[in-house]
Structure 1
Amino acid sequence: MARMTGPRLKIMRALGVELPGLSRKSIENRPNPPGQHGQQASRRRRSDFAVKLMEKQKIRFNYGVSEKQMRRLILEARKGSEPTGDKLMSLLERRLDNVVFRAGFAPTGIAARQLVNHGHVLLNGKPVNIASVRLQVGDVVTVKEKSRKIPMVVEALATPSLTVPEWLSVEAVSATAKIGHLPSIEDVPFAIDMQQVVEFYSNRV
């Protein structure tokens, strides 16, 4: 996905949900959509298409994936017997940048992506700089020893954005996380109607 440089809080207000992977800020004090007529817009009934689009956009912005990546993930999620929506979210949660974020090594998914891209992370003891790498059960992610002194990493470890999910085991001192088992849709840290997302792509891929 192109580097996210726009107003993240405005995006969350437009979607009506806090996306921890996008920003640590809260929309609690300004829950209405942005713009002059935001309060009226929040009371207006959305079309079926608008609802499906918003649910899909929640995923894209939280995980920082492009539309092209989403389509590829949907095609992959359709394979097998597992419900498409459940498998899609498992695939997204297991992205390396998201694991770095969920382990508490970075304040947001965007910051975690930057850590990975700049070579601060090891996967199973080897350097890796591809944020979209998908992890498997037993994989170990570590922030390099020198990189643990980066102020952003220090702050994230001291005040994590989210509780570490049950499928991850984390050792904060060594900044190490291990995948214990595959995540489920219940582990997604924001409200999402996956059926709407699946229906959005039903005739598009």
Structure 2
Amino acid sequence: MTKRIQAKYKIDRRLGQNIWGRPKSPVNRREYGPGQHGQRRKGKPTDFGTQLKAKQKMKGYYGNISEKQFRKYYAEAIRLKGDSSQNLVGLLERRLDAVVYRCKFVSTVFAARQFVNHGHVKVNGRRVNIASYQVKVGDTIEVKDTSKQLAIVLESAQLAERDVPDYFEIDQSKFVAKMTRVPGLTEVPYPVHMEPNLVIEFYSR
């Protein structure tokens, strides 16, 4: 088990929010941070602190991406035409592990990364085992035939806690999906309020 999987609920507690909307999140029982000083009264956050929290929340939501990789997404977002914060969301939503999670092939974004790394996913008929692979509009994403009967896949398909967003066309019975468009911020079904504009401000200081 990786460190990221072990520490995933620490992210919830540190931020004081159930960022994945999971019913087992410890924030549902206690909203203060982890550790012996978690219940201390916090002062008014600074602009830097607010921006940092927004960055940690978004970075954590997508499986706690490494700082180096997340900064690369920022650099690409400001290079592209259009609104940088919308570009950032689009780049993150096009990650293969995020797509696998959105399409309910597995139940968590952490499981999605492992699922992709273990070679259970094909893009346009070819096996892809890189979680950060950028899916393009029109690409077909599917679970390998030999992996469709795995318990993790069958259980996830039955989850009622979230729906597949409408920027995917999906055949849930065959575990095949197609990305129809790159979503904007308001279309992404985040369980909590995300502020990619503050992330852009954080890195552009």
TM-score (norm 1): 0.90
Match of 1:60 in 2: 59
Helix, strand or coil: the match of 1:142? strand
What is the CA deviation profile of residues 67-93 of structure 1, one whole-angstrom value per residue up to 9, with x for unaligned ones? 111111111101233111110011000
Distance in 2 between the 1:169 and 1:176 partners?
8
2:200 alignment partner AA? V
1:152 alignment partner AA? I
Distance in 2 between the 1:167 and 1:155 partners?
23
Distance in 2 between the 1:57 and 1:137 partners?
28
Counterpart contact for 1:168–1:180, Cα < 8 Å: yes
1:13 alignment partner AA? R
Q: Does 1:51 pair with 2:50?
A: yes
Distance in 2 between the 1:149 and 1:158 partners?
13
2:44 alignment partner AA? R
Match of 1:193 in 2: 195
Counterpart contact for 1:107–1:161, Cα < 8 Å: no
Unaligned residue ranges in structure 1 (runs of 5+): none
- Count of residues paired in the alignment: 200
What is the CA deviation profile of residues 10-47 of structure 1, one whole-angstrom value per residue up to 9, with x for unaligned ones? 211111222229x6633222122223343333x53222
1:174 alignment partner AA? K
Distance in 1 between the 2:74 and 2:130 partners?
20
Distance in 2 between the 1:20 and 1:112 partners?
13
RMSD between aligned residues: 1.9
Counterpart contact for 1:108–1:161, Cα < 8 Å: no
- Within a 5 Å distance, the mapping from 1:72-91 to structure 2 comes to 72-91=72-91
Post-superposition offset of 1:161: 4.6
After the TM superposition, list the runs of 4 or more consecutive aligned residues in structure 1 that deviate by more than 3 angstroms: none
Match of 1:133 in 2: 133
Distance in 2 between the 1:80 and 1:154 partners?
38
Match of 1:152 in 2: 152
Helix, strand or coil: the match of 1:177? strand
Identity of aligned residues (%): 39
Distance in 1 between the 2:81 and 2:163 partners?
30
Q: 1:24 to 1:105 in 2, by over 3 A?
A: farther
Q: 1:3 to 1:140 in 2, by over 3 A?
A: farther
Unaligned residue ranges in structure 2 (runs of 5+): none
Q: 1:195 to 1:5 in 2, by over 3 A?
A: same
1:196 alignment partner AA? L
Distance in 2 between the 1:69 and 1:59 partners?
13
